C-alpha cells in the first residue's frame, strides 16, 4: 500500500467521444437549409417585385426550419467542445456552405435566364 487511494480503473468513465464531421454536418443542415431558403426567397422577391404567390412555400419553410436550426445549432456548439470539435465544425460547415451555394446558384440561374418561364 502506498498510502494514497488510487481510483479503480474500471470505475473511471470512458473518455469522451471525439466530434465527427458527419454528425456536425447533420446538426448544421437545418440552419443551412434555412439560410439558403431565406437567400433564395429574397432573390425571387427582388426578381418579381409585384409579389409572386408561388413563393409562399419559402416563407413556410423558413418558419418551420428556424427553430429546428436554432436547436441543432446549439447542439453543434456543444459538440465543438469535444475532442477534434473545431475540425469537425469546420468540415461540417464547409459541406453545408457548398449546399447553400449550389442552391443559391441554381435559383439565380433560373431567375436570371428564365429557365422555367414556360412551366
> What pLDDT does 119 receive?
56
Q: Is 42 exposed, middle or buried (0-12, 13-18, 19+ CB in 10 A)?
A: exposed
> What pLDDT does 53 receive?
61
Q: Is 116 helix (H, G, I), strand (E, B) or coil?
A: coil
Residue 29 CA, chain-centre distance (Å), reads: 3
Are the beta carbons of 7 and 78 closer than 8 angstroms?
A: no
100 closest CA partner among 34, 5, 3, 14? 34
18 closest CA partner among 75, 72, 87? 87
Taking only the tens place, the pLDDT of each residue in 15-25 is 888 999 999 99
Q: Is the model's pLDDT at 48 over the cut of 60?
A: yes
The more confidently predicted of residues 18 and 119 is 18
The mean pLDDT value of the chain amounts to 87
The more confidently predicted of residues 112 and 56 is 112
> What pLDDT does 16 receive?
83
**How long a stretch of residues is the chain?**
119
> What pLDDT does 44 receive?
84
> What pLDDT does 5 receive?
75
Q: Is the model's pLDDT at 8 over the cut of 80?
A: no
The more confidently predicted of residues 106 and 119 is 106
24 closest CA partner among 66, 82, 101, 102? 82
Q: Categorise residue 69: left if φ over 0, alpha if ψ from -120 to 50, beta otherwise.
A: alpha
Numbers of helices and strands, H then E, in the chain:
3, 0
Whole-structure pTM value: 0.80
> What pLDDT does 87 receive?
96
Amino acid at each position: 500500500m502506498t498510502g494514497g487511494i488510487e481510483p479503480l480503473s474500471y470505475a473511471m468513465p470512458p473518455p469522451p467521444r471525439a466530434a465527427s464531421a458527419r454528425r456536425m454536418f447533420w446538426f448544421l443542415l437545418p440552419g443551412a437549409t434555412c439560410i439558403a431558403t431565406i437567400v433564395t426567397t429574397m432573390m425571387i422577391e427582388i426578381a418579381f417585385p409585384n409579389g409572386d404567390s408561388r413563393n409562399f412555400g419559402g416563407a413556410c419553410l423558413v418558419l418551420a426550419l428556424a427553430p429546428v436550426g436554432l436547436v441543432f445549432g446549439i447542439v453543434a456548439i456543444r459538440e465543438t467542445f469535444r475532442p477534434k470539435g473545431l475540425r469537425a465544425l469546420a468540415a461540417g460547415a464547409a459541406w453545408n456552405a457548398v449546399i447553400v451555394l449550389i442552391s443559391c446558384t441554381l435559383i439565380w440561374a433560373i431567375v436570371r435566364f428564365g429557365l422555367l418561364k414556360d412551366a
